[in-house]
Structure formats: C-alpha cells, structure tokens
Amino acid sequence: MGTVVWPYVRVAGVVLTLGLPLLMLGCNAKAGWVNLDTVPTEAAVYVDGKSVGTTPLLLYLDLQKPGTLKILKEGYTPLVESFGVAWVRNEYRAGNYSSETYTSRGGQEKRFNVRTVRVLTEDPQARQQLRDFTAWADSMVGKNSHEVVTRLGLPTEIIELPNGNKSMIFKRGIPERTSRFETDARGIVIRWSH
C-alpha cells in the first residue's frame, strides 16, 4: 500500500486538510442501521457467514467489528462486500448516508443510517440449472415418490400430513433452498414447491 496524501489549503498560516476520513468529519458514528434492498428482491443476506434474513432488510452494523456482507439469490452471481468504515464512507459519498444522535444511558451516541440498493447480476449457468430443476420437478408430478428420492440423491425428510398425504422436504442450491414434493397416500407426487 502506498502513502495516502490528503489535499490541503493554508489559511492564516494554518494547514487545513481537505477530504479527511469520514470519521474525522463529524460523521463519527461507530454503529448504525443499514436499510438494504436488492434488485431483484428476496435475496438471502449473510453477515459473517450467519443468515440474517432476505431483502428488503434492516440490519444493525457495528463498525468496531468489521465483517463481510454476502448477498445470495439462486440464478444470480453472489455479491460479497467487506463492511467497515470504508464501506460507510463509500455510502456517504454516494449520498446514501445520514446520521443521528441518540441519547442512551452512557450519554449521547451518534448512529449512522444507510439506505442502499444492490443490483444483482444474472448468472446464466445458475439460471439454466434452475430452469433444468424446475422442468425435472414438473416431470416428477404423477410419478412414484421413490423415483423422486432416488433421482434426487439428496437427504430427504418425509413428514406425514394430517390428510394422509406425505411431504418430502430436501435442501439444495446456494443459498440453500428448501424444496418440497407432496405425495398422496399411495406415494404418488401430486405437487412440488420451493
């Protein structure tokens, strides 16, 4: 890494630095809220590998513990960003930032508010895999459930439904997505969903 040189001006013999880091400009919030949305919506969001929900989503981020934000949606390229002071500084520059002062037991604290949208890029290979799976699942309707389980080759949980039907549940894809085949009492697939 090279040395960062900040632009400056001299006023009455005093050197004033321009473009100081965000934390030195009064925007010194160490934690705050991020209103995160994606295009398309309903993307899975992970903070440091832990699932926190799907978009649109309101997240609380602590800049004293920088981390990784990962956004996943089936059929789209995963989006991974490191968050910390630099991330908030970029949102500030993009006009997505505001800050507020809150009163707490320890006195007054500044909190940032970031409202941002991430546009996900389609992954042609993943989209084709999704279309292939959908076509295959559609072709399984009317077939014996043993054939579905054999062809899936994935761990499957079978739940007995109150009406005598059964639901076969399995997880697949990235992000991991739950799909379900419902069978009648004879074991014939009557519908599927994911």
Q: pLDDT tens digits, residue range 153-180?
A: 666 777 777 777 777 776 665 555 667 7
Query: Whole-number mean pLDDT of the chain?
Result: 75
Query: For the chain, what are the domain ranges?
Result: 27-119, 124-193
Q: Is the pLDDT of residue 147 over 80?
A: no
pLDDT tier at 80 (50, 70, 90 boundaries)?
A: very high
Q: Using alpha carbons only, what angle is made at residue 32 by residues 26 and 38, rounded to the nearest 5 degrees?
A: 120
The amino acid sitting at 155 is P
* CATH domain 27-119 topology: Immunoglobulin-like (2.60.40)
What per-residue confidence (pLDDT) applies to 179? 74
Do 109 and 33 meet the contact criterion of CB atoms below 8 Å apart? Answer: no
b/e per residue 3-38 (b: at least 16 CB within 10 A): eeeeeeeeeeeeeeeeeeebeeeebebbebbbebeb
Output the DSSP codes for 157-190.
EEEE-TTS-EEEEEEETTTTEEEEEEE-TTSBEE
Nearest-angstrom CA–CA distance, 43 and 40: 7
Query: Stretch 21-30: mean pLDDT, rounded?
Result: 48
What per-residue confidence (pLDDT) applies to 155? 66
Residue with the larger pLDDT of the pair 84 and 106: 84
What per-residue confidence (pLDDT) applies to 97? 81
Do 30 and 64 meet the contact criterion of CB atoms below 8 Å apart? Answer: yes
What per-residue confidence (pLDDT) applies to 1? 37
pLDDT tier at 74 (50, 70, 90 boundaries)?
A: confident
What per-residue confidence (pLDDT) applies to 24? 39
Distance of CA 171 to the CA centre of its chain: 18
Q: Is the pLDDT of residue 79 over 80?
A: yes
Is 97 exposed, middle or buried, given 0-12, 13-18 or 19+ CB atoms closer than 10 A? buried
Q: Within a 10 A sphere around the Cβ of 116, how many other Cβ atoms? A: 15
Task: Calculate what percentage of the chain has a pLDDT beyond 90.
Answer: 5
The amino acid sitting at 8 is Y
Nearest by Cα to 83 from 30, 133, 13: 30
Question: What's the whole-model pTM score?
Answer: 0.61
pLDDT tier at 9 (50, 70, 90 boundaries)?
A: very low
Q: Within a 10 A sphere around the Cβ of 190, how many other Cβ atoms? A: 13
